[in-house]
Amino acid sequence: MIVTAPDFAAWRGAARALLAAEVSPADVLFDDGTAPGLFAAAELPPVPAGPALEVPRAFVALAESVSCHRDPQRWGRLYRALWRLTRGEPHLLDLATDDDVAWLFRAEKSVRRDAHKMKAFVRFRKVGEHFVAWHRPDHRIVRRVAPFFRRRFPEMHWSVLTPDDSVTWDREGLHFGPGVSARDAPPPDVLEDMWKTYYRATFNPARIKLKAMKKELPVRHWATLPEAALIPDLLAEAADRVAAMVQHSEGTPSAADFLPATRDLDGLRAAARDCTACGLCGPIVPPVFGTGPADARIALVGDQPDTSGAADELLDTALEEAGIDRAAVYRTTAVKQTAFAERDGAREPRRANAREVGACRPWLLAELAALRPAVIVCLGPLAAKAVLGPLFRFTERRGEVLPAGGTIAIATHFPATILRAPEEARAEIWAELVTHLARALELAGAGYHPPSHYSSRVPY
């Protein structure tokens, strides 16, 4: 007999009646209404009164899902499974290798995957205050997936249009309607360009895996995904972009490459002569390494070699005022050569940049490690960051005694700051500098144990 089953509810009613009348699966043909039937549908036998047959809950869920599948076989397959479940094979669904069960599982998987893709690949476009999407699913899943979008976008007024069905949420209820052809899809909205910008930027041309991509983003969906239009271009550019990346490894070489095996002060000084890490030094302007006694208790770190001598002079005065014997301190800098900038044809000293400071830092750290002073005095923010790490906040923390790689450091003003400071501030800066230096002297004698909770933050 032929039974019409356009949807799940109709099939379910029919299946109940057929089962009760003991109509074997071999004797029934389900017509799902997608193609005009050759024969008229038969009258269903009446459903006898009494409790409905019990089937495993898992079967109901499976049947609901499989009913969305496009294959006309689905109703027959489901009925046969139902028949077997209720006739001596209650464990049928455990038998994943059975032909009927395997077919149903595959159909269920196909529907599940399609529903998943719909949740992912629907692209709303804003039309006035209304968000509209056109999507082409493989199966008839609009009713199955619509509640997901309702839960996700409760405050939006939206519609999803597909060739078979459409659904609209008006902030109160879901309304289902007829299919809509691709011609009636909404036009792109302004945000689509932003999305494409994002898509382009997030792609790494060094890692092309096209097969993996196509597996997850089936080409048949590309037409409704705005970003898919970029793919051919992205692929075409990729090889060149990678080549450029590899070539452009211009890099920031580091002095670490030049560190010698023996790292005493003389060894370091000798090896530094070859350093070309940041380009400030060269055969004519070799690195200016630190000077002073190798057993100095105090090491002073400035930013870069003083070309004018003015800063050094001021420092000498400050040391004297603080009561420090200037012959007993070791003086060095964060960067071992002075940086220059061209301005209006003239060369003038400039501040070293982060790249140069970073490149030269291994010398400074090796130098301090070889020296093991009792106290490091950092003169100015640049030197302080080189010693205490890039997050050191000079304005807030200068004058504090801080642990630094097994010893202690204190940051204070760079003497030359005084020359640039406004008249009224000079006295104060000077007083601070002298106080900090005096504190360093005191610490150099006292021996000091840094609080342990700091130690994990020390950068070297």
Map the footprint of another protein across residues 82-141, applying CB under 8 A: 91, 94-97, 99, 102, 116, 119-126, 131, 133
291 burial (CB, 10 Å; 0-12 / 13-18 / 19+) is: exposed
Q: Does 319 bind ligand SF4 (CB under 6 A)?
A: no
Cβ closer to ligand SF4: 78 or 371?
A: 371
d(CA 167, CA 279): 66
Bridge-based pairing of strands 125-127 and 130-134 is antiparallel
CA dihedral (175, 176, 177, 180) in degrees, to 10, reads 110
Say whether 283 sits in a helix, a strand or coil: coil
Q: Does 153 bind another protein (CB under 8 A)?
A: yes
Q: Does 360 bind ligand SF4 (CB under 6 A)?
A: yes
- What would you measure as the largest C-alpha separation in the chain, in angstroms? 114
Helix intervals (H) in 153-264: 191-202, 210-216, 231-247
Single out the residue of 80, 125, 336, 439 in contact with ligand SF4 (rule: CB under 6 A).
336
Say whether 84 sits in a helix, a strand or coil: helix
d(CA 423, CA 418): 9
Single out the residue of 35, 38, 40, 194 in contact with another protein (rule: CB under 8 A).
194
Element (DSSP H or E) covering residue 395: helix 394-397
Single out the residue of 10, 29, 242, 438 in contact with another protein (rule: CB under 8 A).
242
List the interface residues with another protein, window 195-234 (CB under 8 A).
195, 197-213, 216-217, 225, 227, 231, 234
Single out the residue of 65, 162, 166, 337 in contact with ligand SF4 (rule: CB under 6 A).
337
List the interface residues with ligand SF4, window 249-268 (CB under 6 A).
255
Taking residue 415's Cβ as centre, other Cβ atoms within 10 Å add up to: 24
Q: Does 288 bind ligand SF4 (CB under 6 A)?
A: no
Single out the residue of 56, 267, 389, 399 in contact with another protein (rule: CB under 8 A).
389
Q: Does 59 bind another protein (CB under 8 A)?
A: no
d(CA 32, CA 145): 21
Least separation in angstroms between CB 58 and another protein: 12
Kindly state the tokens that stand for 65.
């899902």
List the interface residues with another protein, window 418-457 (CB under 8 A).
456-457
Q: Does 180 bind ligand SF4 (CB under 6 A)?
A: no
Least separation in angstroms between CB 389 and another protein: 6
Least separation in angstroms between CB 257 and ligand SF4: 10
Q: Where on the phi/psi map is residue 227: left (φ > 0), alpha (ψ -120 to 50), or beta?
A: alpha
Single out the residue of 35, 246, 261, 327 in contact with another protein (rule: CB under 8 A).
246
Q: Which residues of the chain form contacts with ligand SF4 (CB under 6 A)?
A: 255, 272, 275-278, 280-281, 287, 335-337, 356, 359-360, 363
